[in-house]
Amino acid sequence: MNKKAEQLFNDGDKEAAIKLIVADLNKDPKQLQEILQLSTYLVQAGDLEQAEELLARSLEMFKDNQDLLYNLGNVYYLADKFDKANSIFQNLVNDDYAFEAYFMLAKTLDQQGKRQLAIMYALTAAEKSPNDLQANELLADLLLSNGNFNESLGFYKIASEIKPQAKYYFNMALCAMNLHEDYQTYLNKSKELDKSFYMKNEKKLSDLQEFIKQGDSNDGK
């Protein structure tokens, strides 16, 4: 990794960091770590086209390199090329690359409308890295969207233990409400952590309360 470029990038001078690595690679193109670093910086700078070109070209030099493939899969995902992303992440999962491949495959499958499969891979990602915040959050989100409120609540609790966030407590309240359990404590915590987030999502809550009330009154007929 180019430490000077890393410092420039972290200081906010993305363009200078990218130019520095490009100049270095022009002298010696076979520097795998710098290629990976440059591809990451290009993605963060929003230049997906250049990142894709760099990674595809580099894969001709470093045949089937898994780190390059993983970065290319991320570029495809961000560019909404989900079929291509799926193919790469599926192959990396088959090779048991790392928990990140399971995580990204889950995200890709969700974008393709294959939620049950997405949940399966998200669960594997969370099992492989139980303390990873994003893995637990993704799994909780997918379970909530699928109506698995009890399981979702459990994974939001894990995520909130790793790093408390208003979103987690708010969604825990949604889960508890659907389960006809006490949810006010979760709401209070959500509001305490981020009042603006809470206020922005309050309507979602009142809509759900109304929906549940209607369901309860229909059940009672």
Domain CATH code at residue 146? 1.25.40.10
Q: How far is CA 9 from CA 18, 42, 53, in A?
A: 8, 11, 21
The answer to whether residue 221 scores a pLDDT higher than 50 is no
Q: Are residues 11 and 42 in the same domain?
A: yes
- Write out pLDDT tens, residues 93-127: 999 999 999 999 999 999 999 999 999 999 999 99
Q: Which SS3 state, helix, strand or coil, does residue 126 take?
A: helix
Is residue 175 located within the same domain as residue 196? Answer: yes
Q: CA nearest 86: which of 117, 124, 63, 64? A: 117
26 and 100 in a common domain: no
Residue with tokens 């233990």: 161
CB 140 within 8 A of CB 171: yes
Q: What is the pLDDT of residues 153-162, one digit of tens each?
A: 999 999 999 9
Domains held by the chain: number: 3
Residue position matching structure tokens 């990218």: 18
9 and 75: one domain? Answer: yes
Looking at the fold, whether 186 and 200 belong to one and the same domain comes out as yes
Within-domain flag for 41: yes
User: What is the Cα–Cα distance from 45 to 14, expressed in whole angstroms?
Assistant: 7
Same domain, 135 and 116: yes
Question: pLDDT tens across 179-219, in order?
Answer: 999 999 999 999 999 999 999 888 777 777 676 666 555 55
* The model scores a pTM over 0.85: yes
Q: What is the pLDDT of residue 145?
A: 94
What is the rounded CA–CA span in Å between residue 72 and residue 85? 8
Within a domain: 125: yes
Which residue in 99, 47, 41 sits closest to 70, CA to CA? 99
Provide the percentage of residues in the chain whose pLDDT is more than 90: 82
Asked whether residue 88 is domain-assigned, the answer is: no
Mean pLDDT of all residues in 64-74: 97
Q: Please name the amino acid found at residue 113.
A: G
Residues 156 and 173 both lie in one domain: no
Per-residue pLDDT of 140-178, as tens digits, reads 999 999 999 999 999 999 999 999 999 999 999 999 999
90 occurs within a structural domain: no
Q: What is the extent of the structural domain holding 213?
A: 164-221
